């Protein structure tokens, strides 16, 4: 049995399927050829039923033997350290990869997630709209200058940045053809397609189990 275990929820509604962040870890393992298992915690009671392993009641979290990690970014960097597919061996390229991995979380997702949440709550033109547009314009400019974010090739930084940018409402915000081509290119990778399909299959199996239990 693999020592790598990715933890996620046992079920989610239709909307988040294909976007729950355990997908990031699945995708990384698929890219790197790392064996892994997936285990679940119950959706019901998720706010408090796994606080000992994830102090904010979120998923994913990761076990690597006796090591326990939470936060998808930290887990991705841990996995990337196991594979030159995700983390270049050259020190300069590796530093650049870490830089852009953090940028995906701290400069892009930090804006897009609260913007999306306010939009979902009915505040379509919220105070974050201008800020997000500026950040997305910046990444459009960067991607116009390079095919990949770091090291001249796909790395964990591209995995994470594309996952942040592929959210439907974010993709539909403005006309940024270079960013759209980048997201399409990165998510066309077989490892992403398998990780996404496997996540959706898990939740669909939970649907079937719920139906069976109700009948």
The 10s digit of each residue's pLDDT in 15-54 is 999 999 999 999 999 999 999 999 999 999 999 999 999 9
CATH for 4-84+191-214 (3.40.50.1100, 3.30.1330.10, 3.40.30.10, 3.40.50.300): 3.40.30.10
Contacts of 4 (CB under 8 A, 6+ apart): 29, 34, 35, 36, 37, 62, 63, 64, 79
- In the chain, where the domains are located: 4-84+191-214, 91-189
The confidence band for 95, taking pLDDT boundaries of 50, 70 and 90, is: very high
Q: Name the one residue in this structure whose structure tokens are 């892994």.
A: 36
For the segment 172-195, the average pLDDT, to the nearest whole number, is: 98
* Cα–Cα distance measured from residue 134 to residue 26, given in angstroms and rounded to the nearest whole number: 31
Cβ atoms 162, 156 nearer than 8 A:
no
pLDDT at 2: 66
Q: Does position 180 have pLDDT exceeding 80, yes or no?
A: yes
Top CATH class, 91-189: mainly alpha
Instruction: Give me the percent of the chain exceeding a pLDDT of 90.
Output: 92
Q: Give the distance between the most distant pair of CA atoms in the chain.
A: 59
Cβ atoms 88, 153 nearer than 8 A:
yes
- pTM here is 0.96
Q: Does position 206 have pLDDT exceeding 70, yes or no?
A: yes
């Amino acid at each position: 049995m693999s020592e790598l275990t990715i933890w996620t929820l046992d079920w989610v509604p239709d909307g988040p399927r294909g976007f729950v962040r355990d997908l990031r870890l699945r995708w990384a393992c698929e890219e790197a050829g790392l064996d892994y298992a997936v285990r679940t915690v119950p959706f019901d009671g998720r706010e408090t039923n796994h606080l000992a392993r994830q102090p904010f009641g979120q998923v994913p979290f990761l076990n690597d033997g006796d090591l326990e990690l939470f936060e998808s970014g930290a887990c991705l960097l841990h996995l990337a350290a196991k594979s030159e597919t995700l983390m270049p061996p050259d020190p300069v390229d590796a530093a650049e990869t870490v830089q852009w991995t953090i940028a995906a979380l701290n400069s892009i997702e930090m804006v897009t997630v609260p913007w999306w949440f306010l939009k979902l709550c009915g505040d379509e033109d919220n105070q974050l709209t201008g800020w997000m547009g500026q950040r997305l314009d910046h990444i459009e400019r960067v991607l116009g200058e390079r095919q990949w974010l770091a090291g001249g090739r796909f790395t964990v930084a591209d995995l994470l940045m594309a996952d942040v940018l592929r959210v439907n409402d974010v993709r539909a915000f403005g006309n940024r053809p270079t960013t759209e081509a980048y997201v399409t290119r990165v998510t066309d990778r077989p490892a992403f397609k398998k990780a996404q399909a496997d996540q959706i299959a898990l939740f669909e199996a939970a649907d079937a189990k719920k139906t069976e239990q109700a009948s």
